[in-house]
């Protein structure tokens, strides 16, 4: 179910043993540090976590995160709505474990006996996924790129901006 809340803390080893996929949402306003660089904290993070053991029996987590955030465009200083998508693969390791044998493409997640703070993980991953210089798509920006450039027609804007189409597809009609 897409609208189940994501549990804030989980035991990834147990979930990996059972091959669990967690899918759900959490309000953007729960992630204070993430909201700091944003223009407002209105929105919902859609999150999916696949827990499994790889061929070496190590616990791995695959994350898929989606959220729409509002930031200030650095070109025209107007608000811009940005769809943020992030995917990551984590290898759960004991604290102080040797990470030399880690397969490529995995981020190390050191974990002792405490449960995993899933909410903090989401926040950290999304913070890294935010654009360093937020800006509109050039054709949607208020700042004219060049005086001689003709105004793009509405059709052109729609076709040339796959992100806005994607964002519409992902918008939950129930929200």
How near is the Cβ of 116 to Zn ion at its closest, in Å? 38
Structure-token match 């306003």, residue found: 29
- H or E segment to which residue 154 belongs: helix 154-160
**Which of 20, 93, 141, 157 touches Zn ion by CB under 5 A?**
141
Question: What's the rounded Cα separation, in Å, for the pair 64 and 128?
Answer: 14
Question: Which range in 67-75, 113-121, 125-133, 150-158 contacts Zn ion by CB under 5 A?
Answer: 67-75
Q: Closest distance between Zn ion and the C-beta of residue 64, in Å?
A: 28
Please report, to the nearest 10 degrees, the dihedral formed by the alpha carbons of residues 163, 88, 133, 70 taken in order: 60
* DSSP for residue 38: S
Question: Among residues 115 and 152, whose Cβ is nearest to Zn ion?
Answer: 152
Q: Which is nearer to Zn ion, 53 or 75 (CB)?
A: 75
Residue among 62 and 75 whose Cβ is closer to Zn ion? 75
Place of tokens 């994350």: 63
Structure tokens at 49: 């976590």
Nearest distance from residue 72's CB to Zn ion, in Å? 9
| Residue ranges in 98-127 that form contacts with Zn ion under rule CB under 5 A | none
Phi, psi dihedral angles at 71 (to 5 degrees): -135, 175
Q: Which of 22, 35, 72, 76 binds Zn ion (CB under 5 A)?
A: 76
Provide the binding-site residues for Zn ion, judged by CB under 5 A.
73, 75-76, 136, 141
């Amino acid at each position: 179910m897409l609208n189940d809340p994501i549990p804030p803390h989980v035991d990834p080893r147990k979930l990996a043993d059972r091959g669990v996929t967690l899918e759900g949402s959490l309000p953007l306003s729960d992630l204070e540090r993430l909201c700091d660089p944003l223009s407002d904290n209105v929105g919902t993070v859609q999150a999916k976590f696949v827990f499994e053991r790889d061929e070496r029996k190590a616990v791995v987590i695959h994350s898929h995160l989606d959220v729409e955030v509002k930031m200030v465009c650095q070109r025209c200083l107007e608000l811009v709505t940005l769809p943020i998508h992030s995917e990551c693969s984590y290898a759960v390791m004991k604290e102080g474990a040797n990470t030399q044998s880690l397969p490529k493409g995995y981020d190390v997640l050191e974990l002792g006996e405490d449960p995993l703070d899933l909410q903090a993980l989401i926040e950290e991953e999304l913070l890294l996924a935010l654009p360093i210089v937020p800006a509109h798509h050039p054709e949607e920006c208020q700042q004219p790129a060049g005086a001689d450039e003709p105004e793009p027609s509405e059709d052109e804007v729609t076709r040339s901006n796959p992100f806005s189409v994607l964002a519409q597809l992902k918008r939950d009609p129930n929200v």
